[in-house]
């Protein structure tokens, strides 16, 4: 078993040539973004030549002649007509979404200056930024009002998942939430009385021309009254980023971004929603962000900024901007923590060293003082390229690696000592290659690819094009895994799916004839094949033991069915007929044979000289030799006929084994984080612990050494050990450690960004569920966006380019995230009290304490902890002895205090003062407490409204933790007459089938126990829900939350109430990681009906009963969707109540 995180990081690189970026102008139809040649594949292509002063300009803000924008993760300012820009911020964190005040004095922005996103403000002329909020949520600044209040989106005031618009005063810091829910951006009219805002809209996905349930829609609300908000313009396209202005005729208008013509362009309407006008007519290039000052618009397209007068007739003009500075984030630098990027460790056949793969680089190293050899990249490529899967050659002198130096992942050969140049072994890859496994005889390399193919590469074939041939193809799964060679290199064992996609089968390739043999049926799963060194046995793991643990029967609380723990055992196949199983118990026949062999040896000592005696001895010797083990050079061949029937079971208890290796004396088994060993011998059953805390292991080809990998302690690196094979790990490990944490890797950021861009492009090509890429010319898309990479100056800008590129596929599950971002110095994190606090003259008033399940005290927030009895309305006057009135937010006095005791001085509403000690929580837990308060608030509403007849449960996501939530809440309410399952704001996962199968259970009979009090019968099936069920879903129901909702509808379990869901119906494995641990999600598996129609994706799940939660009502705490669910259930229960059977006449003996 080679240690490599194959599914975590997939690498590729391709150098680039100059390419076209074209967009049509509003008036001239001329290209506004330039043209160039097509991208060439391979290392010979050169990146586009770009003016070194050019940057990647985003998120502009305009006021008069001052233009502020984002570049290099900082804020810059320039003249509104362009020119050389001046840097405004230099903090290590990222600053985004700037806004300028009407008087031009202030710049507000979203800052990550202290490990969290919040609103900051600074003088436009320069100065120290000042924090205005401590929301630490999804904060984005959208503008500064005429009253000098910053408008931003942050956490909802009532805890409902999502965002809400807020205002914070620049001068006083006073905060107020606007009465509008589901708002993702917005703008106020000059008088501050009218709010224009965007309802919903995609948050993390990148999908052009999206038309699902989370469609961005423009709404308007009169803040001076109490009327509900209304749509500003009819639905049908994504409309967002409203910007009020006055046209040349003095009419109030609202400009906005819309994709109603297929591309996000700038449009406007009158303030009443009439007179729709289009101001730009770009084709194929979206406007990503825009800002207005009066009728002057500035917007971002590609990597540039453009300016347009909405009252004029001239075309938009590209602003010529240059950055003055040293472009520090493009400098070559050193990565000093390779452990953060480690993706693979492979052991040499002689057990003397390992090859490490970190951030796409390779190095070999042994234990103790042995030097580390960094393996070179091909000459002329610099730092461009990435390597991933690795394996040593059979003689340990070379390393084979899958590297993308040629533009595709191909096999390269590198000297293990770091000398010489890498040599390319394969060519012509059409999908990502992976899983290298060289044969012990040095002739072959087995490997697979993303298309499920298994290849053999002949290392003696001088033709790169002809050296590789396909030998197997998996049509159901992801291809062969657990590749394992016989000692003579004549056979390759592996596992893959055959006729059943749920279970991998043991397979055997005989190299000489190229035939693949299935060694068993598809009834049981198999994995981890390992040949014995003598060539007589093939050991493997198989799950064939099914003993129920936990639930002895269908009864018992929250019994969701039987669980079969420890189902894996070790099995062995005799590769030749007539072999005696090494673990077989001694018997009398074996003893007789041993006696005959001893007699032969005695006769040899006597040296008989007569011909007859000599003949007998020769015959006996021949028989004895026949039973002896063959030499390493003369191993017996594998006899295929009857092989699958020569099956033996190793006499060791079943377990949760995941890894297996074998040497001449022992079997090594990994179970969870424990490595165990079992001596090979007659009657051996003593499985003993070799080592604890093992995350992965490998056995050297010569059977003498073991590679042990142990987990990292917080802030430290994983421990890598090379130890002697044997019964137990040595007590002193100092001489066994591979000292690799001082490895520092030199990186060229620009080269890495090019590699990651191409890596992301290739991941989509190879993982996307539709091989025809939704009809998009994917090669052309690389050509379209590659030149933007040359404009990138920091990592989040690269993510922006990737997001634009993947958006061309128009699919959800398309999130992109940077891996390594520039950060400021480590500072103590914020902590929270699990409450909503308001400023008071004496300190901070506790306006609301987030509540949860009172029967789960460990889940209570800091102020709701048992025994504290803190009343709402109490004022916190001191925190750890410091005056609470002297800070803009109490969080400032609890920096670094999460999980630690903090002393609060309280003044209760009665006037009583007392100290209390509480334990604040970190921001993640604070967010959970806020959402839990909303969830349990819904449950209380339902319980009260139905007099306890209707149950309620909310699923925040569909993960392993959420099935625990479901089991706790569902079975606690299984006797109710109605149930509401709320999957609004559900983030997805993969547990829909567990929940659906639970809801599909039906009571077909009842058990009637005896009781003098007349106990009621209980159903068979046990704990079945017999009442009516409804599901609540909304625009933010996502992924598996949608699959559950669709399944609930199609299976006729009840109605879905609410709004059409997001439309993320193509699932993924989430295994795509870039060189710096960045994310490029690729949707891999679509859902189809029996007749082949795709479900959910792009359109969402349409509710049976559509009910909207209007923005103002939602912000005020109303929940029309929940009310509709309660009303429907009440009506359904009244019409068809749950019937409880009563026993009829009891049986009596038949009278004679």
| Distance separating the N- and C-terminal Cα atoms of the chain | 75
The H or E element containing residue 1066 is: strand 1066-1067
DSSP state letters, 734-788: GGGB---TT--EEE-HHHHHHHHHHHHHHHHHHH-S-TTGGG--HHHHHHHHHHH
Residue 950 to residue 599: CA distance in whole angstroms: 86
Residue pointed to by tokens 């279970």: 503
φ and ψ of 437, to 5 deg: -150, 95
- Round to whole Å and give the CA distance between 718 and 730: 18
183-to-95, 118, 203, 1018 alpha-carbon distances in Å: 22, 17, 11, 48
User: How far apart, in whole angstroms, are the C-alpha atoms of residue 358 and residue 360?
Assistant: 5
Q: How many CB atoms lie within 10 A of CB 730?
A: 13
Phi-psi region of 51 (alpha: psi -120 to 50; beta: other; left: phi over 0): beta
CB 858 within 8 A of CB 125: no
Q: Is 595 left (phi over 0), alpha (psi -120 to 50) or beta?
A: alpha
Burial grade of 705 (CB within 10 A; 0-12, 13-18, 19 or more): buried
Contact predicate 94/82, CB 8 Å: no
Check: CB of residue 534 under 8 Å from CB of residue 635.
Answer: yes
Going from the C-alpha of 45 to that of each of 35, 42, 421, 743, the distances in angstroms are 17, 6, 20, 31
Closest CA relative to residue 1033, chosen from 1021, 1041, 1023, 1022: 1041
Q: DSSP labels for 876-945?
A: EEEETTEEGGGSSSGGGGGTT-TTS-EEEEEE-TTS-EEEEEE--B-HHHHHHHHHHHHHHHHHHHHHHH
Q: How many CB atoms lie within 10 A of CB 594?
A: 11
Annotate 48-117 with three-state secondary structure: CCCCCCCCCCEEEEEECCEEEEEECCEEEEEECCEEEEEECCCCCCCEEEEEECCCCCEEEEEECCCCCC
| Residue 824 neighbours by CB under 8 Å, 6+ apart | 91, 92, 93, 113, 114
DSSP secondary structure of 331-395: S-EEE--GGGGEEEEEE-TTSS-EEEEETTEEEEE-STTPPPEEPPPPTT-TT---EEEEEE-TT
Q: Is 1039 assigned a catalytic role?
A: yes
b/e 664-700 (16+ beta carbons within 10 angstroms → b): eebbbbbbeeebbbbebeeebeebeebbeebbbbbbb
Active-site position among 166, 289, 813, 985: 813
CA-nearest of 320, 388, 105 to 1075 is: 388
Q: Please tell me whether residue 607 adopts helix, strand or coil conformation.
A: coil
- DSSP letters for 957-1011: -BSHHHHHHHHHHHHHTTTSSEEEEE-TT---BS-HHHHHHHHH----EEE----
Closest CA to 168 of 177, 158, 160: 177
Catalytic one of 1039, 1042, 1045, 1062? 1039
- Provide the sign of the torsion angle of the four alpha carbons 823, 824, 828, 829, taken in this order: negative
Q: Do residues 245 and 310 make contact, with C-beta atoms less than 8 angstroms apart?
A: yes
Catalytic residues: 813, 1039, 1097
């Amino acid at each position: 078993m080679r240690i490599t995180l194959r599914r975590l990081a997939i690498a590729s690189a391709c150098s680039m040539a100059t390419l076209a970026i074209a967009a049509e102008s509003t008036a001239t139809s001329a290209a506004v973004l330039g043209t160039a040649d097509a991208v060439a594949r391979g290392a010979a292509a050169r990146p586009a030549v770009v003016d070194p002063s050019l940057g990647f300009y985003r998120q502009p803000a305009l006021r008069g002649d001052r233009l502020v924008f984002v570049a290099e993760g900082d804020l810059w300012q320039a003249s509104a007509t362009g020119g050389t820009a001046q840097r405004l911020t230099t903090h290590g964190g990222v600053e985004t979404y700037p806004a300028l005040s009407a008087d031009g004095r202030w710049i507000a922005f979203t800052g990550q200056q202290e490990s969290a996103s919040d609103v900051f403000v600074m003088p436009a002329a320069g100065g120290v930024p000042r924090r205005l909020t401590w929301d630490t949520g999804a904060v984005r600044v959208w503008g500064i009002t005429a009253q000098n209040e910053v408008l931003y989106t942050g956490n909802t005031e009532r805890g409902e998942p999502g965002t809400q618009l807020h205002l914070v005063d620049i001068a006083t810091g006073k905060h107020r939430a606007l009465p509008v829910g589901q708002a993702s951006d917005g703008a106020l009219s000059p008088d501050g009385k009218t709010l224009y805002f965007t309802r919903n809209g995609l948050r993390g996905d990148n999908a052009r021309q999206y038309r699902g349930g989370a469609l961005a829609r423009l709404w308007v609300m009169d803040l001076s009254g109490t009327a509900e908000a209304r749509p500003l313009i009819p639905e049908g396209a994504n409309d967002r980023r409203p910007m009020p202005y006055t046209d040349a005729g003095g009419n109030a208008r609202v400009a906005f971004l819309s994709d109603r013509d297929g591309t996000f362009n700038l449009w406007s309407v009158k303030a009443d929603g009439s007179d729709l006008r289009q101001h730009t007519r770009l084709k194929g290039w979206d406007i990503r962000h825009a800002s207005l000052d009066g009728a002057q618009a500035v917007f971002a397209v590609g990597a540039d900024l453009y300016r347009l007068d909405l009252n004029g007739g001239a075309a938009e003009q590209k602003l010529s901007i240059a950055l003055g500075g040293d472009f520090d984030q493009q400098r070559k630098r050193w990565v000093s923590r390779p452990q953060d990027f480690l993706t693979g460790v492979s052991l040499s056949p002689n057990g003397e060293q390992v090859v490490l793969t970190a951030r796409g680089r390779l190095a070999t190293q042994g234990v103790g003082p042995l030097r580390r050899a960094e393996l070179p990249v091909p000459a002329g490529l610099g730092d461009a390229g990435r390597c991933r899967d690795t394996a040593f050659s059979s003689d340990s002198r070379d390393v084979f690696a899958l590297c993308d130096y040629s533009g595709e992942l191909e096999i390269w050969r590198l000297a293990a000592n770091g000398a010489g140049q890498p040599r390319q072994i394969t060519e012509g890859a059409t999908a990502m290659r992976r899983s290298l496994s060289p044969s012990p005889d040095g002739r072959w390399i087995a490997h697979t690819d993303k298309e499920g193919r298994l290849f053999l590469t002949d290392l003696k074939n001088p033709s790169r094009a002809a050296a590789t041939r396909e030998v197997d193809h998996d049509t159901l799964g992801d291809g062969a895994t657990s590749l394992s060679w016989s000692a003579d290199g004549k056979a390759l064992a592996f596992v893959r799916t055959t006729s059943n996609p749920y279970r991998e089968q043991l397979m055997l390739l005989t190299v000489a004839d190229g035939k693949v043999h299935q060694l068993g049926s598809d009834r049981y799963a198999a994995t981890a094949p390992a040949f014995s060194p003598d060539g007589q046995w093939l050991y493997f793991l198989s799950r064939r033991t099914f003993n129920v643990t936990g639930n002895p029967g269908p009864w018992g609380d929250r019994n969701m069915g039987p669980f079969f723990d420890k189902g894996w055992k070790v099995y062995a196949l005799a590769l030749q007929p007539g072999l005696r199983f090494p673990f077989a118990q001694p018997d009398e026949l074996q003893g007789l044979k041993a006696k005959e062999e001893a007699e032969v040896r005695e006769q040899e000592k006597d040296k008989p000289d007569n011909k007859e005696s000599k003949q007998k001895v020769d015959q006996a010797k021949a028989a004895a030799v026949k039973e002896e083990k063959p030499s390493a050079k003369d191993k017996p061949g594998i006899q295929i006929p009857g092989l699958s029937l020569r099956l033996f079971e190793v006499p060791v208890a079943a377990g949760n084994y995941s890894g297996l290796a074998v040497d001449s004396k022992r079997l090594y088994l990994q179970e969870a984080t424990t490595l165990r060993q079992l001596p090979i011998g007659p009657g051996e059953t003593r499985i003993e612990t070799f080592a604890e805390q093992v995350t992965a292991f490998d056995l050297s080809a010569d059977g003498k050494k073991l590679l042990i990998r142990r987990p990292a302690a917080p802030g430290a690196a994983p421990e890598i050990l090379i130890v002697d094979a044997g019964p137990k790990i040595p007590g002193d490990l100092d001489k066994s450690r591979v000292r690799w944490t001082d490895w520092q890797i030199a990186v060229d950021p620009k080269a890495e960004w090019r590699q990651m861009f191409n890596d992301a492009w290739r991941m989509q090509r190879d993982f996307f569920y539709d091989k025809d890429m939704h009809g998009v010319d994917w090669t052309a898309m690389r050509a379209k966006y590659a030149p933007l990479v040359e404009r990138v100056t920091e990592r989040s800008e690269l993510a922006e380019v990737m997001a634009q590129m993947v958006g061309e596929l128009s699919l959800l599950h398309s999130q992109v995230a940077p891996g390594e971002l520039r950060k400021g110095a480590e500072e103590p994190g914020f902590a929270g009290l699990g409450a909503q606090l308001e400023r008071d003259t004496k300190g901070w008033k506790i306006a609301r304490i987030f509540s949860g399940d009172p029967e789960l005290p460990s889940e209570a927030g800091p102020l709701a902890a048992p025994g504290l009895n803190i009343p709402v309305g109490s004022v916190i006057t001191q925190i750890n002895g410091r005056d609470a009135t002297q800070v803009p937010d109490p969080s400032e006095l609890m920096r670094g205090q999460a999980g630690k005791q903090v002393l609060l001085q309280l003044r209760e509403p009665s006037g009583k003062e007392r100290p209390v000690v509480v334990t604040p929580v970190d921001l993640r837990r604070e967010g959970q407490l806020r959402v839990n308060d909303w969830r349990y608030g819904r449950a209380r509403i339902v319980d009260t409204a139905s007099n306890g007849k209707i149950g309620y449960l909310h699923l925040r996501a569909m993960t392993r933790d959420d099935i625990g939530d479901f089991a706790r809440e569902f079975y606690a309410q299984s006797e109710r007459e109605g149930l509401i399952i709320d999957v609004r704001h559900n983030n997805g996962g993969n547990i829909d089938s567990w929940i659906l199968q639970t809801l599909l259970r039906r009571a077909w009979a009842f058990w009637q126990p005896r009781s003098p009090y007349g106990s009621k019968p209980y159903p068979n099936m046990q704990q079945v829900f017999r009442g009516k069920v409804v599901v609540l879903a909304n625009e933010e129901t996502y992924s598996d939350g949608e699959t559950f909702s669709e399944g609930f509808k199609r299976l006729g379990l009840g109605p879905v109430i609410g709004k059409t869901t997001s439309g993320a119906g193509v699932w993924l494995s989430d295994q795509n990681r870039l060189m710096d641990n960045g994310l490029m999600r690729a949707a891999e598996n679509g859902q189809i009906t029996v007749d082949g129609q795709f479900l959910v994706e792009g359109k969402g799940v349409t509710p049976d009963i559509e009910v909207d939660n209007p923005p103002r009502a939602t912000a005020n705490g109303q929940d029309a969707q929940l009310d509709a669910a309660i009303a429907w259930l009440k009506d359904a229960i009244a019409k068809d109540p749950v019937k409880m059977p009563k026993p009829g006449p009891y049986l009596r003996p038949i009278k004679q």
